[in-house]
Amino acid sequence: MILGCTPTGFQTGNQKNCIFVKTLTRTNTAKMIQKLEELFSVLKAQKSKRLVAAYANDAHTIGAINQAVDMGIIDATLVGDKEIITSVCLKENIDIRKFHVVNEPDEMRAARWSVRLINEGHGDMLMKGLVSTDKYMRAILDKENGLMSPGAILSHVTVMENPSYHKLLIIGDVAIIPLPELKEKIAITQYLIRTAFALGIEKPKVAVLAATEQVMPKMPACTDAALISKMADRGQIKGALVEGPLALDVAIDKESAEIKKINSPVAGDADCLVFPNIESGNVFYKANTKLAGGEQGAIVVGAKVPAVLSSRGDSIKTKLYSIALAAITAK
């Protein structure tokens, strides 16, 4: 269905008031998801969510959304230049009638209009199309008309499938917070736990990373990790086994943990990795695909709805996994 030629033709509704993480509530995922492909079968059994794509003028974005719609896991609204969207659909042999289309040729206005649709209850998740990242984020972070609640912390969560690891890894933050302080690391930890719940992991194991598993007072990553671990021990962070500081080898390799005599259920079997800074997390993220042949899906969390922030250079498969991740975590 193609909506009117201007955004003013889209009917408004009640504002949707949904915060991605405030309390750690579990989803109805029946089984633990162990491969990214399994996201699709789980979502097919659930009511489909509506995705709103901001400035969806490119073939990669439309192609990924088209596959997700065909799988029956989402419905979709495309906000962007109607002529370009129509041209892309014709070139890619995609039936445009399966989408709602809102015509807004201006990049910034398309991003703002997409956010408005979410706020008015016309979408459960957001996706970045051809709009630049700074404009996409400005629309989300707008104090008056954006998607942030007071005091909320925006972060980035990746679910990673690595052929060398025995299960999925949920990691953060690799793209939003450059040097997280303790408050932000606590939020990142909670976001990773919430995502683990959505994947059917009943008691996720969280490793808070540093350069060493020793508590070194002069290393902020070590002291922050120790504090977060103790908070979990005392119930201030709920629903997970949290251990830190842990070096990366100890977190994901049982043999290293045994050699170093680290006696912890998290060591060598982590579900979630909290990185101390964006450099370490981003390098790990890119090494997963470029060197290890891994796959991943990623979303921005902390806003009222999950938001897909794929790079314009990401493959359609990565964008499809990211859409599925947003759908399974959306309220």
Query: What pLDDT score was predicted for residue 11?
Result: 39
Q: Please give the DSSP secondary-structure letter assigned to residue 2.
A: B
* pLDDT per position as a tens digit, 219-264: 999 999 999 999 999 999 999 999 999 999 999 999 999 999 999 9
Closest CA to 101 of 47, 49, 53, 48: 53
Q: How confident is the model at residue 181, as a pLDDT?
A: 97
Is there a domain that residue 69 lies in? yes
Instruction: Name the DSSP letter for residue 17.
Output: -
Q: Are residues 124 and 159 in the same domain?
A: no
Q: Does residue 195 sit within a domain?
A: yes
How far apart (Å, rounded) are the C-alpha atoms in residues 82 and 96? 10
Give yes or no: residues 112 and 163 share one domain. Answer: no
pLDDT given at position 268: 96
| Contact between 169 and 271 (Cβ < 8 Å) | yes
| 80: in domain | yes
Same domain (yes/no): 211, 144: no
Tell whether 299 is covered by a domain. Answer: no
Q: Across the strands, what pairs with 119?
A: none
Domain contains 304: no
Q: What is the count of structural domains for the chain?
A: 2
What was the pLDDT predicted at 5? Answer: 40
The domain of 201 spans: 155-290
Task: Let me know whether 131 and 198 are in one domain.
Answer: no
Distance CA 323, CA 318 (A): 9
d(CA 135, CA 195): 26
pLDDT tens for each residue of 147-179:
998 899 999 999 999 999 999 999 999 999 999
In a domain? residue 1: no
Q: Which helix (H) or strand (E) holds 154?
A: none
**In the prediction, which pLDDT does 108 show?**
97
Give residue 173's identity as a one-letter amino acid code. D
Contact 53, 60 (CB under 8 A): no
Instruction: Please list the ranges in the chain whose pLDDT falls under 50.
Output: 1-25, 27-28
Same domain for 185 and 69? Answer: no
Q: What is the CATH number of the domain that holds 194?
A: 3.40.718.10
User: Could you give the CA distance from residue 125 to residue 129 in angstroms, rounded to a whole number?
Assistant: 13
What is the predicted pLDDT for the residue at 17? 33
Question: Which pair of structure tokens corresponds to residue 185?
Answer: 């690391």
In a domain, 297, yes or no: no
168 and 138, same structural domain?
A: no
Question: Which residues, including other chains, have CB under 8 Å from residue 79's CB and lie 6 or more apart?
Answer: 7, 52, 53, 54, 55, 56, 101, 102, 104, 110, 113, 114, 117, 129
12 & 76 share domain? yes
Q: What is the CATH classification number for the domain harbouring 131?
A: 3.40.50.10950
- Note the pTM of the prediction, 2 decimals: 0.89
Distances (CA, A) of 114 to 131, 145, 268: 11, 11, 42
Q: 70 pairs with which residues across the strands?
A: none
Report yes or no on 316 lying in a domain: no
What are the residues whose beta carbons fall under 8 Å from the beta carbon of 143, sequence distance 6 or more? Answer: none
CA distances from 231 to 73, 135, 226, 235, 328 (A): 37, 37, 9, 6, 28
Please tell me whether residues 118 and 100 are part of one structural domain. Answer: yes
pLDDT in the model for residue 314: 75
268 burial (CB, 10 Å; 0-12 / 13-18 / 19+) is buried
- Say yes or no: 57 and 72 in one domain: yes
Together in a domain, 124 and 167: no
Which two structure tokens, joined as six digits, stand for 242?
Answer: 């949290």
